[in-house]
Amino acid sequence: MNRREFIASAAALAAGPTLANCSGSACGAGSSGCSGRILFGVCRPPKDVPLLKSVGYDFFEYAVAPALGPDKDGEWWKKQRDMLLGLPLPMRSCNGFIPGTFRLTGPKADQGPALDYAEIALRRADEVGVKTIVFGSGGARNVPGDFTGPRDQQPKLEEGTRQYTEFCRALCKRVADLKTTCVVIEPLRPNESNIINFVWQGVQICHDVNSPRLQQLADLFHMMMGRECADSLVKAGPLLKHCHIASYETRQYPGSDPATVDRLRPYFDALHTIGYTGGVSCECGWGKGDFAKNLETALCTLRSL
């Protein structure tokens, strides 16, 4: 099935019954046409999509700039759109949303250009059926060190979080008419971002903005490293629309170290508890071995959880 056919049949698949014992090309688990289950994908460029399809993945995830070209003209986009729609797997999600060249927080914040860039990205994503745009973008959102309070000279994190929230609110108003795509807030561990480190903090912003265009992501690697318990996923509930995953500490592909697989189980138990049927993308390293074999190991590991 190519991307055009996928979009045409997506609504019907979403409405279908749960299939508990679908057979697929890897591990005897579900195929990409099965509904009522978690979907598994990989953060890789389009050139790897045929391999991902052959292994049994459901989708791929790619970066906003090379995938959607918000800074490129309409002629470029027309060719790119046709290429994406012709791939054998859907580009279900995109990451790397706002480049660090934009400043979203701090005294030099200038959100206008970033809003223009983000709106183009989201409208193009909607054209090709992308479900989620991942809003991590630590470089753009981090509160700069020169944005400090009068006493402790520490960055004004509450004010920076307010600025980030207002950016999300303004963006959601601009793209309220989108049919498919939403932005998902990605919490990042403290050594990668000084605001929004935990799922519950992102959920608070989602509630504050109160728009279907803003939802929540859970990165299980960041949750494990930040010691955020799996109960946060249960509390996020229907706001949770996408997940990222990598192995504990090493940030390699799931199953690369069998000893760490059990650390993932509470998080997947929580996903099953809330009936999660969104995507889980492997955002990780793939080691120096056989890439195809490592892809298979990761998928088998994920389907066993």
Categorise residue 110: left if φ over 0, alpha if ψ from -120 to 50, beta otherwise: beta
pLDDT reported for residue 144? 86
Residue 34 pLDDT greater than 90, yes or no: no
CA distance 131 to 237: 17
Domains of the chain by residue range: 3-303
Reading phi first (left if > 0) and then psi (alpha if -120 to 50, else beta), residue 77 is in alpha
Helix (H) or strand (E) holding 287: none
pLDDT at 153: 54
pLDDT at 88 (0 to 100): 98
Are 223 and 235 within 8 A, CB to CB? no
Residue 248 confidence (pLDDT) above 80: yes
CATH 3.20.20.150 applies to domain 3-303: yes
Q: Which of 38, 19, 18, 14 is nearest to 301 (CA)?
A: 38
Identify the band that residue 16 occupies on the pLDDT scale cut at 50, 70 and 90. very low
Query: Distance (Å, rounded) from C-alpha 129 to C-alpha 89?
Result: 12
Give residue-wise pLDDT tens across range 197-209: 999 999 999 999 9
Q: What is the average per-residue pLDDT within 43-67?
A: 98
Q: Which of 3-17, 24-38, 151-165, 226-240 has the lowest mean pLDDT?
A: 3-17
pTM equals 0.87
What is the model's pLDDT at position 15?
A: 33
Measured distance CA(115)–CA(184) in Å, rounded: 16
pLDDT per residue as tens digits for the range 273-294: 999 999 999 999 999 889 999 9
Give the residue ranges of DSSP H helices in the chain.
3-14, 49-55, 64-68, 74-85, 111-127, 138-141, 157-174, 199-209, 220-225, 231-236, 265-273, 291-303
Query: What do you get for the CA distance between the two ends of the chain, in Å?
Result: 27
pLDDT at 36: 78
Q: One-letter amino acid identity for 113?
A: P
pLDDT confidence band for 35 (50 / 70 / 90) = low
Cβ density class 1-11: b for 16+ within 10 Å, e for less: eebeebeeeee
Q: Which of 182, 253, 256, 186 is nearest to 212 (CA)?
A: 182
153-162 confidence digits (pLDDT tens): 567 899 999 9
- Gap between the Cα atoms of 126 and 181, Å rounded: 5
pLDDT of residue 145: 72
- The pLDDT of residue 7 is 45
Residue 151 pLDDT grade (very low, low, confident, very high; cuts 50, 70, 90): low
Is the pLDDT reported for residue 193 higher than 70?
A: yes
Side chain identity, residue 20:
A
73-97 confidence digits (pLDDT tens): 999 999 999 999 999 999 999 999 9
DSSP track, 207-267: HHH--TTEEEEEEHHHHHHTT--THHHHHHGGGEEEEEE--TTT-B-TTSSGGGGGGGHHH
Residue 12 confidence class, pLDDT cut points 50, 70, 90: very low
Q: How confident is the model at residue 152 (pLDDT cuts 50, 70, 90)?
A: low
